[in-house]
Amino acid sequence: MDIIFLHNLKVDTVIGIWEWERKIRQSVVIDLDMAADIRKAAASDSVDDTLNYKLVAKRVQQFVAESEYQLVETLAEKIAGIVVDEFGVPWVKVKVNKPGAIRGAKDVGVIIERGERPDGS
C-alpha cells in the first residue's frame, strides 16, 4: 500500500481545558499519512484516480476551524473518522500538535492510527 501525506496543516481553533483557552483561538498543526493505492492514478495521470489531498485538506481545515474540543485526543479521533469515513481511506495516521502548550516545549500533541495498517498489521 502507498501513503499519501499532508503535513504541517495549520488551523486556528478553540482547543483546551482551561477557561481562558475556551475564549481564544489557538493554532494546531496537523499531519496526515493516508493509505492509498496510487497505481491507477500513476498510470492514468488523473487526479480522479487518486485520493485528492486538496479536498482532504479543505475538509479537515473546515472541520477543525469550526470545532471547540477540550482535548487534542478528541480532535485527532474526529479527524481520523472524517478521513476514513468520508474519503474511504483504509488507514490513517493523524498527528495533532498544539505548539506552545507546554512552556519549554516546542510541540505537544498526539499521534493516532486508525484502520488497517498499510503493512497488513
pLDDT digits (tens, 9 = 90+) for 25-60: 999 999 999 999 999 999 999 999 999 999 999 999
User: Can you give the residue ranges of every domain in the chain?
Assistant: 2-115
Determine the 3-state secondary structure of 6 from DSSP: strand
Read off the pLDDT of residues 70-98 as tens digits, 9 standing for 90 and up. Answer: 999 999 999 999 999 999 999 999 999 99
Which of the residues 58, 93, 95, 98 is marked catalytic? 98
Q: Is the pTM of this model over 0.85?
A: yes
Looking at residue 118, its amino acid is P
Write the class of the CATH domain 2-115. alpha beta
E strand or H helix at 80, and its extent? helix 72-87
Q: Is 40 part of the annotated catalytic residue set?
A: no
* Phi-psi region at 51: left, alpha or beta (left = phi > 0; alpha = psi -120 to 50): beta
Count other Cβ atoms within 10 Å, centred on residue 15. 25
The backbone torsions φ and ψ at residue 57, rounded to the nearest 5 degrees and listed phi first, read -60, -45
